[in-house]
Structure 1
Amino acid sequence: MTRLTGIKPVVIGLMIALFIGALDVTVVSTAMPNIVEDLQGTSLISWVFSIYTLTTCVTTPIFGKLTDLFGRKMVFATGIVLFVLGSALCGVADSMIALIWFRALQGIGAGALNPVCFTIVADLFTGEKRGKMMGLFASVWSVAGLLGPLVGGYFVDQISWRWIFYINIPLGVAALVLVNGFLHERFERKKKKIDYWGAAAFTIAISALMYALLSIGETHPWNSPFILVLVVVAVVFLALFIAIERNAEEPMMPLSMFRMRVMNVSNLSGFLAFSITTGVMIYSPIWIQTVLGHTATSSGLLVMPMSITWPIASTLVGRWMYRIGVKTSVIVGSCLVLAGTGWLTALQLGSSYWHWVGILAVLGFGMGFVTTPSTVMIQSAVGWQMRGVATSTNSLLRSLGQTVGVAIFGTIFNHYIVNGTKIEYVHGMQAIFILFFVIAAANLLTLLFLPGHRQVMAQQQS
């Protein structure tokens, strides 16, 4: 279905697209104090991030389905154009309200970048080569995580915070030219049935759910009428969405995917595992600063071990998983994640900074061994015509895991914080660390239900 006139330009273009999407997550956090100082609107800070997360999650599976209907190039181009346009508008925003709206547009474009890039990689490479490339592309996120604070800090200190958005314009144009110029598709062109009603029901359901999760602990408690109404809306429209998909001629999210054990296990594992990593990224700096008394710079540098070992593991497992087995690879990774969270539960008031370095290195290595094989398995379980929606559904479940995790961990943590003392912080985070361990154990148990390596690979379709 997909062919090249030059493999290197396409790979470079895809990596650039992934990079700017991943970089945007960390670079905006670094520049936020200066943005607030310039635009005011301190009370709206959280929405600069929340609206981006919400629109990305809503559009990811929709774009995934569109890639299967209309081809990868068109959807990739649409995503890049929207992301670049949103970035340019963010750069000229003259108020926090305007910035939030433009971030929503940017998030819509970002909803296409991650799943479509990985889908194109799956189209172009098969077998062991696919695993190697998936590992390489997964490392882009970690590299962006390392460079984000540095890039953001440089632009803020030397030029202007607006350049954290402007930099996406030339990079996005380069990605668009490279991919659309060298990637050529051949697929049957016929009239497509777009599942408008399914997409509408899904959008309402996920928007209500995400808005509820992002508001919990921020503006509303768990049991507030506002949150309960949003949850009811989400449940009702999710049920409506399922009913629509059962009868749709070309469903947005084919329910047949969820009859595949590989899909269900991998999606549940992604939900669980990514909730842990997000929690660790949030609460490790809090421990370093409030309990150990280190500077914000030290706590920021603490994420480096995970950002280094994750891409290393992703690259290694991409090369090894066809030799040691896909199931073995993810089991090894989940055992390392379990070991890392177990180490977390042993942290005490006097635990040193280097304990954290070791813990995050182990967690990063474990996640690298889990995520790359999981992505390959999902893409191997379906054909070309469902690969886009399968990849994007997995991305959605990972994002939902992150959002649900943040809401639950925040509620537990706030329960312990009364006077803001150091011991309260320790007890609150120790309770969260125990929950990390329980989730990691559930993730390992889930992955034990994967079929064996030969059965998984027998499903692979080029």
Structure 2
Amino acid sequence: MTALPSDTAHIETSPGRSPLLVLTVVAFVGFVTALDNTIVAAAAPSVARDLGIGLATLQWVSIAYMLPYAGLVLLAGTVLDRLGDRALLAGLGVFAAGAVVCGAAGSAVPLLLGRTCQGVAAAFIVPGTLRLLRTELPERLRATAAATWTAALAAALALGPWLGGVVSQYLHWSWIFYGNLPFVLPAVVLVSLGTSQRDRRSAAKVRLSAALAVTSGLVLLTSALVTASEAGAGPSWSVPLLGVLGALLLAGFVLGERCASAPLVPPRLLRGRVFPGANVLLLLWGLGISGVVFFTPLVHQSYLGLDPGTAGLPLVVVAFGVTAATPLVGPAARAFGTHRVVACGLGVVALGLFGLAAVNTLAAILPRVPALLLIGAGSAFTAPITSHALDHSDQDDAGTASGVLTASRELSSAFGVAVVGLVVSTVLRHRIATGSAEPAALAAGYTHGVLLAALLQVIAAVLAWSLLRPVSTDPRSRGATDESSEEFEAMSSCRYEEPCAVPDAHSRCRSCW
């Protein structure tokens, strides 16, 4: 990965937190925030039974976490650029408080309030942690840090359903929330240990109205998808109404951003193809993977007849695949280029998903293991997407850039569950109507959902080859024959409007940085 030229010397020589400290915080925060996305699924029946809540309310136990997280993360990036570590520490405190409220909840209302608090807090602590990768680590360690982050996310993604089932089966579901504290409290201590010497503060305006508009729009659109997946008794006006209202709010947000003097996403971040392209790839990857992971324990319980603790256990294979492949990611990216590594990684994920769909008709666990291993290993090689995108943002925008990347990943989680869920429920209803037993119908719906996820990974792999590909230049226009194309790409996203004195109209000079 190549840092922005003017920042490289500064980053390498400025004192600050030790890399080991930063990597530890990255791993802690990445694991616990991702775990909260998945651990609730296997424990959901126990929660519903103890609190006496129905399926619709139960779904919002997950949604109440994911949507504030996704919708507020852009605002959080601006706040982080203004306040730095103070915002990160406040977010960690609110997250821990929300976990305590959830664990102590005796009804649906405090549970949903606690989950919302956790989602709001996650919107600050996740980009706050990613921001450390850009502001605290030297260039040579960023690929390792991004791989560590991805490994923590994948481990939480894979272990969450299993842990949720085990905890609810042998302890009590409240401990899936109290269990956050052993991760959050050490992170607070570690962040407090050092003070960054390069934590430059921004004076960007905090636009709360824009954040509320995008969050409300996302809530309405997700509600439309969830309602559509549950609607089995004919057409309903609620689905198009929610969808139209959500789309209008999001359109208003986009128009407001274009007219705002201080938009949540600075236009300079969206110039070029690397940063926007990275966000597209994160969306496609998450749309496929998140929905599959969410429905896998359900299929294992219903179709294979496993208990809650065992049903999520095969997903540990995914975490093993990520862990085994992670040490190879950095060297591979340096040797073959980010675009090739990411494209191949997404292709391996697609291959694993196609394999999973092919063996899903077999009512056994063992045939699924190779496919799950491929999904994990391929996902590890998507890690450079994040560090590559951060390397193509200015250090002053590190918090905002991290927020945009996190929003893309979290949006993909929320919509991935809803989209794959829509496919699963549609096929399920059709198969039951034609006489299939419910477990077999659910398995058929899952197969179709996995195939959709695999197709999304194929699309992402093709796009990665072009979106992350280094800029090719004419050597005659630059007086060089074999200059590093990644270094030139960092130079080519000039932060100023006027063109530099370079013959190539698409180029900008190093002095701009």
Q: TM-score, normalised by structure 1?
A: 0.88
The residue that corresponds to 1:437 in the other structure is 454
Report Cα offsets for 1:389-409 as digits up to 9, x if no partner: 222212222222333333332
Q: How does 1:198-209 map to 2 (within 5 A)?
A: 198-209=210-221
What CA distance in whole angstroms lies between the structure 1 residues aligned with 2:250 and 2:224? 15
The CA deviation at 1:23 is 2.9
The CA deviation at 1:459 is 4.4
* One-letter identity of the residue aligned with 1:68: D
Match of 2:416 among 389, 405, 408: 405
The residue that corresponds to 1:455 in the other structure is 485
SS of the residue corresponding to residue 125 of structure 1 reads coil
Report Cα offsets for 1:419-458 as digits up to 9, x if no partner: 4525534543343333233222211221122243443444
Report Cα offsets for 1:200-241 as digits up to 9, x if no partner: 332332332233334432469896322222222222222222
Would the alpha carbon gap of residues 174 and 433 (structure 1) be closer, same or farther in structure 2, given more than 3 Å must change?
Answer: closer
The CA deviation at 1:250 is 2.1
SS of the residue corresponding to residue 208 of structure 1 reads helix
Greater mean alpha carbon deviation, residues 150-159 or residues 373-382 = 150-159
Q: Give percent identity, aligned residues only.
A: 24
The residue that corresponds to 1:307 in the other structure is 319
Would the alpha carbon gap of residues 412 and 198 (structure 1) be closer, same or farther in structure 2, given more than 3 Å must change?
Answer: closer
What CA distance in whole angstroms lies between the structure 2 residues aligned with 1:126 and 1:393? 22
What CA distance in whole angstroms lies between the structure 2 residues aligned with 1:352 and 1:8? 42
- Structure 1, gaps ≥5 residues long: none
- Structure 2, gaps ≥5 residues long: 1-10, 471-483, 492-512
The CA deviation at 1:191 is 4.9
Contact 2:303/2:363, CA 8 A, preserved across alignment: no
The residue that corresponds to 1:96 in the other structure is 108
The CA deviation at 1:156 is 4.9
Q: How does 1:379-394 map to 2 (within 5 A)?
A: 379-394=390-405
Q: How does 1:185-224 map to 2 (within 5 A)?
A: 185-186=197-198, 191-218=203-230, 224=236
The residue that corresponds to 1:50 in the other structure is 63
Contact 1:3/1:183, CA 8 A, preserved across alignment: no
Contact 2:142/2:387, CA 8 A, preserved across alignment: yes
What CA distance in whole angstroms lies between the structure 2 residues aligned with 1:261 and 1:241? 22
The CA deviation at 1:298 is 4.2
Would the alpha carbon gap of residues 401 and 313 (structure 1) be closer, same or farther in structure 2, given more than 3 Å must change?
Answer: same
SS of the residue corresponding to residue 105 of structure 1 reads helix
Q: How does 1:266-281 map to 2 (within 5 A)?
A: 266-281=278-293
Would the alpha carbon gap of residues 6 and 286 (structure 1) be closer, same or farther in structure 2, given more than 3 Å must change?
Answer: closer
What CA distance in whole angstroms lies between the structure 1 residues aligned with 2:159 and 2:356? 26
SS of the residue corresponding to residue 347 of structure 2 reads helix
* One-letter identity of the residue aligned with 1:51: A
What CA distance in whole angstroms lies between the structure 1 residues aligned with 2:50 and 2:143? 45
Q: How does 1:189-338 map to 2 (within 5 A)?
A: 191-218=203-230, 224-338=236-350
Greater mean alpha carbon deviation, residues 140-149 or residues 260-269 = 140-149
Report Cα offsets for 1:142-169 as digits up to 9, x if no partner: 3334554665567556665434333434
The residue that corresponds to 2:177 in the other structure is 165
Q: TM-score, normalised by structure 2?
A: 0.80
SS of the residue corresponding to residue 449 of structure 1 reads helix
Q: How does 1:32-51 map to 2 (within 5 A)?
A: 32-43=44-55, 44-51=57-64
What CA distance in whole angstroms lies between the structure 1 residues aligned with 2:16 and 2:406? 26
* More helix per residue: 1
Greater mean alpha carbon deviation, residues 45-54 or residues 349-358 = 349-358
Aligned residues between the structures: 460
Would the alpha carbon gap of residues 411 and 22 (structure 1) be closer, same or farther in structure 2, given more than 3 Å must change?
Answer: closer
Report Cα offsets for 1:259-315 as digits up to 9, x if no partner: 321122221111111122123224444554555555554432111111111233234
Task: State which structure, 1 or 2, has the greater radius of gyration over its C-alpha atoms.
Answer: 2
SS of the residue corresponding to residue 140 of structure 1 reads helix
